[in-house]
Amino acid sequence: MFSENKFLEIIHALETFHRRIFKNHVLDKAEYRNKKQIIIDSVPEEHKAWLKDKLSFGNEPSLKERLIELLSEVCKYRIVGKIIKDNEEFIKQVRDSRNYYTHYDFSMEKKALNGSDLYYLTIKLRIILIIHLLILLGIEDEKIEQILQKLEDYHYNFLIG
């Protein structure tokens, strides 16, 4: 039986990879700091500490934004178009599944994938991570395509279809 922990390991790896390699803020840091201060200054004193804590990570990209950027970097590789037919639906499935398996909020349970669907989603995320690591290592696109073709032929052909 496939464990949702495998899924969580891969999505956490991708989120961490994005955090380390890509821009990890939405607004310019000074602009965000100014906006945050204006907002904090506008609330009663007894709520300032709570609000400041809640806004401490407010300038980081959401999982959706991270996935959009990660996918945009790898969409040129043939296998990605074969295994991900609809980027928006793929991102929604990843986000909903990650949120459910991280927080176990029963209201999200029906949106989360499970069983073989979660397994296939995990494999697709693993392929995205592999491509990003190959790019980071400086491997040329042609060689990456060759590596991916071998992976497709011998390991991931069940995803194509």
Please tell me whether residues 83 and 101 are part of one structural domain: yes
Q: Are residues 70 and 141 in the same domain?
A: yes
Residues 45 and 113 in one domain: no
85 and 154 in a single domain? The answer is: yes
Chain segment 38-59, per-residue pLDDT in tens? 999 999 999 999 999 999 889 9
Q: How far apart are CA 122 and CA 60, in angstroms?
A: 24
CB 91 within 8 A of CB 67: yes
State how many domains the chain has: 2
Mean pLDDT across 99-122: 95
**How many other C-beta atoms lie within 10 A of the C-beta of residue 127?**
23
Q: Dmax over Cα atoms in the chain, in whole Å?
A: 62
Report field, pTM of the whole predicted structure over 0.85 = yes
Residues 68 and 130 in one domain: yes
Same domain, 154 and 98: yes
Distances (CA, A) of 31 to 34, 37, 50, 61, 123: 5, 10, 21, 15, 38
Q: How far is CA 43 from the centre of its chain?
A: 33
Range of the domain at 41: 25-60
